[in-house]
Amino acid sequence: MAGAGSPNGSVPGSVPGSEATEPASRGWPLWEVFIRARRGLAHNHVGSLHAADAELAMGMARDVYTRRSEGVSIWVVPTASITASSPDEKDAFFASAADKPYRHPTFYDVPAGVKHL
Amino acid sequence: MTQLATTASVPAYVLRLADDALILAQRLGEWSAHAPELEEDVALTNIALDLLGHARMLLSYAGELLGGRTEDDLAFLRDEREFVNCQLVERPNGDFAATVARQLFFAAYQCELYAALGESADATLAAIADRAVKEVSYHRDHAVQWTLRLGDGTPESHRRMQAGVDGLWPYTSELFESDDLLLALVAAGVAVDPVALRPAWSGFLGPVLAEATLTVPETTWAPSGGRRGLHTEDFGLLLAEMQHLHRSHPGASW
């Protein structure tokens, strides 16, 4: 668009001196976005975005992830605050549960007439 | 004032509101795929779509009052001198800071305007304003957030934000001008008196600008004329881009 002027001119949050060559997102931390679709449900992870701070991340999450009435509540969490399990430790973490089928409630007979079970 | 005068002036007033929303939507749409960040691209075009939605409701209503003209007729088949938007909304986007300054000034004005218009004696206008004020309130918040961060950010962001404020401030005086049409409609309880909106507008902006370490320029230059169809040089280019498809292919639809 001819009228757009110099749209990439202002680069808040980026490292001083790096504006000319680096996209702004290099200076903006990543945030994970969680949305609760309606009351009574848990917040679900829906994606991530770059933002300069929590308040802006919240506004951007609203704009990017709730355009089609997807939610009634939003959480934004700095990606750096999340401690994730390592794929390398997958076996040590999760394999031992695989041969313990008795932990599933499938071996119990549900008595007839019991509601809400 | 006769009833006839009121009847004829309501569509003229609705067109002013409609054109403000339509032209600002078109300007903001220019940021599509050009914003500094993907997330901001979505935010700006969301705001543009909100405004386009308001413009469509208002244009449809104006067309109805004018007797069988459609929203498309009014948006795409009027010439430059027939548009009655204020000049602030047609100003080129400039850099992101200038766009934020324009958003701040205009959304703060529209918030006060629509809140008051919700009490209009014209039930249709009141209903449109009631619906629009929620969205415009978010637009204002978006602009405030960026004004604070750019104004009180780095020396470069401050310089650009101040330049945006300096360049656009003179165009804000037109928002609060009254004229015979407005006086008549205010008396009839249909329109909002723009002069009365100014204290609340200034009261809102003052603390925001102060916190953002921005100053208001001292100037007596107050360009005006949009409500009478007088526009700035850039407006013709905007209209050409907005209208050319419809005019090249009359009646085309998706």
pLDDT surpassing 60 at residue B156: yes
pLDDT surpassing 50 at residue B47: yes
Look up residue B71 and give its two tokens: 């929203």
The residues pairing with A49 across neighbouring beta strands, listed in sequence order, are: A31
User: Residue A11, CB half-sphere, CA atoms under 13 Å: how many?
Assistant: 18
Most A CBs within 10 Å: which of B26, B28, B37, B147, as the mutation test of the A interface? B37
Look up residue B91 and give its two tokens: 């100003």
pLDDT surpassing 50 at residue A12: no
Instruction: State the pLDDT at residue A3.
Output: 38
pLDDT over 70 percentage in chain B = 97
DSSP code of residue B169? G
Is A53 a domain residue?
Answer: yes
Is A13 a domain residue?
Answer: no
What's the average model confidence in pLDDT over B86-108?
A: 98
Q: For residues B51 and B36, what is the distance between their CA atoms, to the nearest angstrom?
A: 21
What's the average model confidence in pLDDT over A53-75?
A: 92
A33/B contact by beta carbon, under 8 A: no
DSSP code of residue B31? T
Is A33 a domain residue?
Answer: yes
DSSP code of residue B33? T
Choose the closest CB to B157 out of A4, A12, A49.
A12
Instruction: State the pLDDT at residue B143.
Output: 97
pLDDT band at A89 (very low <50, low <70, confident <90, very high): confident
State yes or no: ipTM above 0.85. no
Count of domains forming chain A: 1
Is A97 a domain residue?
Answer: no
CB pair distance less than 8 Å for B150 and A67: no
Written as one string, the DSSP assignment of chain A is -GGG-STT---TTSPTT-TTTS-GGGGSPEEEEEEE-STTSPPEEEEEEE-SSHHHHHHHHHHHH-TTS--SEEEEEEGGG-----GGGHHHHHGGGTT-GGGSGGGSPPPTT----
Q: Check which CATH number belongs to the domain holding A51 and give it.
A: 3.10.20.520
Give chain B's mean pLDDT.
95
Q: Quote the minimal CA–CA distance from B98 to chain A in Å.
A: 10
Read off the pLDDT of residues B56-84 as tens digits, 9 standing for 90 and up.
999 999 999 999 999 999 999 999 999 99
Q: For residues B71 and B67, what is the distance between their CA atoms, to the nearest angstrom?
A: 12
Domain of A48? Answer: 25-81
pLDDT surpassing 90 at residue A114: no
Is A96 a domain residue?
Answer: no
Is A43 a domain residue?
Answer: yes
What's the average model confidence in pLDDT over A24-34?
A: 81
Q: In what order do the strands lie in the sheet with A73-78?
A: A44-50, A30-36, A73-78
Choose the closest CB to B150 out of A12, A28, A51.
A12
Name the residue with higher pLDDT: B46 or A94: B46
Choose the closest CB to B39 out of A2, A19, A50.
A50
Q: Angle, nearest 10°, between helix axes B38-66 and A54-65? A: 60
Contacts of A85 (CB under 8 A, 6+ apart): A93
Q: For residues B174 and B224, what is the distance between their CA atoms, to the nearest angstrom?
A: 5
Most A CBs within 10 Å: which of B31, B39, B41, B93, as the mutation test of the A interface? B39
Q: For residues B83 and B241, what is the distance between their CA atoms, to the nearest angstrom?
A: 15
Instruction: State the pLDDT at residue B1.
Output: 43
CB pair distance less than 8 Å for B238 and A1: no
Is A75 a domain residue?
Answer: yes
Instruction: State the pLDDT at residue B240.
Output: 97
Q: By the 8 A CB rule, do B125 and B117 touch?
A: yes
pLDDT over 90 percentage in chain B = 93
Q: By the 8 A CB rule, do B216 and B200 touch?
A: no
Is A9 a domain residue?
Answer: no
Q: For residues B198 and B211, what is the distance between their CA atoms, to the nearest angstrom?
A: 20
Contacts of B190 (CB under 8 A, 6+ apart): B6, B10, B13, B120, B121, B122, B125
- In the CATH scheme, what is the homologous superfamily, with its name and number, of domain B3-216+225-248? Ferritin, core subunit, four-helix bundle (1.20.1260.10)
pLDDT surpassing 50 at residue B109: yes
